[in-house]
């Protein structure tokens, strides 16, 4: 058995990017930039008003009350704007260019309008309500670095830079295989005695999609060596990565590795000193990868979080480690000592403190609906008192 860190290092080395492609920004959500994004424009492109009101010269408000003739208006999207004649005000709207000559905007709530004159009774506050040209960013500025995963917030930055397309990593095609005579499609298990719902496949498909991968095929296979071999070859033919669940352990009917053996499986690691998820394994068939997850649903989801997401990140052009952002959080309740395997316990966050879920069985399924975090505990950790800071990961 190897440690989690050793297994992760091997995984990170195997998760090579699958190449890149240029796609419209509108199709880039969830993808990873392999080239940085630079601004094609200044933002704002000119000095713009941040309020609806009147553009004026501060000096013209030296003596109050002041009445200034309204010389035209400036609206967003309205084209070039004339300069502000001395001693006048210009009607202006939020997002509109401030006319040359004006040095502030007074919001309209502080101005009375009488015909073609604007009346200023009170001293406006210090805020000038002008967003200065280029104050957000300038043409050529780096907006997003290579390796960034495009989420709704950084899509704003790219779009604001007038960037229409981006170069991103290719999406990994992922084949999913669930093994086990007992497995039935959710909704059909109760029709036959001894059958249980395949609860993992639907979750892995969602997780792959969320991580920017493409589910290239989904198979539910019986524990029949010939059918498994055939399924393994078919899945490999259409995917960059095949994820097989179940059959990872040591029983005679645990076929997950043997089903790939005939087509040339090279194991990268097999068995990791973690709890849950010890039987997890990673291998290679030619230039394709195969990840084996344990069949126990909690073990499967924990290992998917710890190994599958980083693998997808690397294949998609990113840094595998970026998929595991550990942070420190205080323990809300004391923890018992852990065993010889590194433990990834399921927990929730309550009032800013981490609380272990009562149900920690690796076969648990309902507890997955509650779990928010994984707490990472080194092998042989002594009892941990409440209040101790522990590393946690969003689960
Ligand atoms: N003698 C030993 N037995 C076991 C060991 C061991 O070291 N020696 N390891 C245990 C550990 S730890 C784990 S984890 C499991 C891993 O089991 P497998 O990967 O071989 O999975 P299966 O035996 O096929 O299934 C385990 C369990 O999970 C259920 N299952 C499987 N697939 C699904 C699915 N898609 N949806 C829902 N439930 C699923 C299956 O019915 C079993 O109950 O092995 C221990 N045994
Ligand atoms: O390694 Mo297993 O996932 O604890 O039951």
Give 334-391 pLDDT, tens digit per residue: 999 999 999 999 999 999 999 999 999 999 999 999 999 999 999 999 999 999 999 9
Ligand with smallest separation from the Cα of 342 = 2
Same domain, 121 and 230: no
Q: Cis omega (within 30 of 0) on the bond before 276?
A: yes
The pLDDT confidence band at residue 81, using thresholds 50, 70 and 90, is very high
Q: Please tell me the residue having the least CA distance from ligand 1 atom 36.
A: 198
Closest to 384 (Cα-Cα) out of 347, 333, 334, 328: 334
Q: Quick one: pLDDT at residue 251?
A: 75
The sign of the dihedral angle between the CA atoms of 40, 44, 45, 51 is: positive
Dist. CA 307–CA 8, nearest whole Å: 7
Q: Mutate which of 200, 293, 299 to test ligand 2's pocket (most atoms within 8 Å of Cβ)?
A: 299
Q: Looking at ligand 1, which residue's alpha carbon is closest to its atom 10?
A: 249
pLDDT at 285: 97
Q: Which residues of 301-335 are buried (b: 16+ CB within 10 A; e: fewer)?
A: bbbbbbbbbbbbbbbbbbebeebbeeeebebbeeb
- Of 172, 121, 373, 134, give the one whose Cα is nearest residue 287: 172
Q: Is 130 exposed, middle or buried (0-12, 13-18, 19+ CB in 10 A)?
A: buried
Q: How many residues does the chain have?
A: 395
| Statement to judge: residues 346 and 382 lie in one domain | yes
Q: Which range marks the domain in which residue 234 is found? A: 4-18+170-323
Single residue among 274, 307, 323 that ends a domain in this structure: 323
pLDDT band at 119 (very low <50, low <70, confident <90, very high): very high
Give the pLDDT confidence score for residue 134 in this predicted structure. Answer: 98
Closest CA to 289 of 355, 213, 224, 343: 213
pTM of the full structure: 0.90
Render 311-327 in DSSP notation, one character per residue: HHHHHTTS-GGGG---E
**Residue 280 in contact with ligand 1 by CB distance below 6 A:** no
Whether 116 and 92 map to the same domain: the answer is: yes
Q: φ, ψ for residue 288 (rounded to 5)?
A: -100, 155
> Residue 118 sits in a domain of what CATH number?
2.170.190.11
Nearest CA to ligand 2 atom 5: 362
Same domain, 315 and 333: no
Please name the residue whose Cα sits nearest to atom 12 of ligand 1. 278
Cα torsion 73, 75, 78, 80: sign: positive
For residue 61, being part of any structural domain is answered with: yes
Closest atom of ligand 2 relative to the 361 alpha carbon? 5
Q: How far apart are CA 85 and CA 71, in angstroms?
A: 7
Claim to verify: residue 210 and residue 301 sit in the same structural domain? yes
Looking at 266, 293, 323, the residue that finishes a domain is 323
Measured CA to CA, the distance from residue 219 to residue 200 in angstroms comes to 12
3-class DSSP state of 235 = helix
Evaluate if residue 254 carries a pLDDT over 90. Answer: no
The pLDDT of residue 72 is: 96
Atom of ligand 1 nearest to the CA of 178: 35
77 shares its domain with 98: yes
Q: How many angstroms is it from 299 CA to the middle of ligand 2?
A: 6
Summary mean pLDDT of the chain: 96
Is the domain of 287 the same as that of 190?
yes
* Residues near 52 by beta carbon (within 8 Å), at least 6 away in sequence: 92, 93, 94, 107, 108
User: Is the distance from the beta carbon of residue 183 to the nearest atom of ligand 1 less than 6 Å?
Assistant: yes
Give the count of domains, the chain: 4
Q: Is residue 23 part of a domain?
A: no
Residue 247 is predicted with a pLDDT of: 87
User: Which of 203, 223, 251, 296 is the best mutation target for the ligand 1 pocket, counting ligand atoms within 8 Å of the beta carbon and taking the most?
Assistant: 296
Q: What does the CA dihedral 341, 318, 20, 23 come to, rounded to 10 degrees? A: 120
The SS3 assignment for 119 reads strand
343 Cβ inside 6 Å of ligand 2:
no
177 alpha carbon – ligand 2 mean position (Å): 19
Taking CA atoms only, the protein residue closest to ligand 1 atom 44 is 249
**DSSP bridge pairs for 175:** 217, 242
Ligand 1: which atom is nearest the Cα of residue 199?
36
For residue 249, what pLDDT is reported? 81
Same domain, 311 and 347: no
Q: Same domain, yes or no, for 315 and 334?
A: no
Query: In terms of domains, do 180 and 264 share one?
Result: yes
How far is ligand 1, taken at its centre, from the CA of residue 202, in Å? 18
Does one domain contain both 185 and 247? Answer: yes
Residue 11: strand, helix, or coil: helix
Ligand 1 centroid, distance to 245 Cα (angstroms)? 9
Q: Helix, strand or coil for residue 163?
A: coil
pLDDT at position 252 = 77
Does residue 339 share a domain with residue 312? no
Q: Which ligand is nearest to the CA of 228?
A: 1
Q: d(Cα 199, Cα 165) in Å, to the nearest integer?
A: 38
134: left (phi over 0), alpha (psi -120 to 50) or beta: left
- Given a cut of 90, whether residue 214 has pLDDT beyond it is yes
Contact 130/92 with Cβ under 8 angstroms?
no
Q: Find the mean pLDDT for residues 280-286.
A: 97
Q: Is the CB of 341 under 6 A from ligand 2?
A: no
Q: 275 in a domain, yes or no?
A: yes
pLDDT higher than 90, residue 110: yes
Residue 44, preceding bond cis, omega within 30 degrees?
yes
- With a cut of 80, say whether residue 120 has pLDDT above it: yes
Angstrom distance (rounded) from CA 76 to CA 266 = 62
Is the peptide bond between 65 and the residue preceding it cis, with omega within 30 degrees of 0? Answer: yes
pLDDT reading at 250 higher than 80: no
Give me the interface pTM, i.e. the ipTM. 0.98
Q: Is the CB of 318 under 6 A from ligand 1?
A: no
pLDDT in tens, 148-200: 999 999 999 999 999 999 999 999 999 999 999 999 999 999 999 999 999 99
């Amino acid at each position: 058995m190897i440690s989690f860190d050793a297994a992760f290092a091997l995984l990170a080395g195997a998760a090579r990017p699958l190449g890149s492609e240029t796609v419209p920004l509108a199709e880039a959500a969830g993808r990873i930039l392999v080239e940085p994004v630079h601004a094609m424009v200044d933002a704002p492109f000119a000095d713009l008003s941040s309020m609806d009101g009147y553009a004026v010269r501060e000096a013209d408000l030296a003596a109050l009350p002041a009445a200034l003739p309204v010389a035209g208006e400036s609206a967003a999207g309205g084209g070039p704007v004339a300069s502000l004649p001395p001693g006048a005000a210009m009607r202006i709207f939020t997002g509109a260019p401030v006319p040359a000559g004006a040095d502030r905007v007074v919001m309209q709530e502080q101005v009375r309008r009488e015909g073609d004159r604007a009346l200023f009774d009170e001293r406006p506050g210090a805020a000038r309500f002008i967003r200065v040209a280029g104050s957000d960013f300038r043409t050529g500025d780096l907006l997003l670095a290579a390796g960034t995963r495009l989420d709704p917030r950084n899509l704003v930055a790219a779009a604001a830079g007038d960037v229409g397309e981006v170069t991103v990593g290719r999406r990994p095609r992922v084949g999913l295989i669930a093994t086990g005579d007992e497995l039935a499609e959710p909704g059909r298990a109760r029709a036959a005695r001894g059958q249980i719902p395949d609860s993992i496949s639907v979750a892995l498909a969602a997780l792959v999609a969320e991580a920017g991968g493409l589910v290239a095929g989904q198979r539910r296979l019986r524990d029949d060596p010939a059918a498994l071999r055939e399924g393994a070859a078919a899945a490999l033919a259409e995917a960059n990565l095949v994820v097989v669940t179940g059959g990872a352990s040591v029983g005679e009917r645990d076929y997950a590795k043997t089903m790939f053996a005939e087509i040339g499986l090279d194991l990268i690691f097999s068995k990791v000193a973690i709890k849950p998820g010890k039987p997890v394994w990673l291998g290679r068939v030619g230039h394709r990868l195969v990840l084996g997850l344990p069949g126990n649903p909690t073990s499967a989801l924990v290992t998917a979080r710890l190994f599958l997401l980083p693998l997808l990140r690397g294949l998609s052009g990113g840094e595998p480690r970026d998929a595991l952002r550990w942070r420190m959080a205080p323990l809300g309740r004391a923890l018992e000592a852990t065993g010889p395997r590194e433990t990834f316990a399921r927990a929730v966050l309550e009032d800013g403190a981490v609380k272990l879920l009562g149900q920690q069985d690796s076969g648990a399924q309902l507890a997955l609906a509650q779990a928010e975090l994984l707490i990472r505990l080194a092998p042989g950790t002594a009892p941990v008192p409440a209040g101790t800071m522990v590393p946690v990961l969003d689960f």
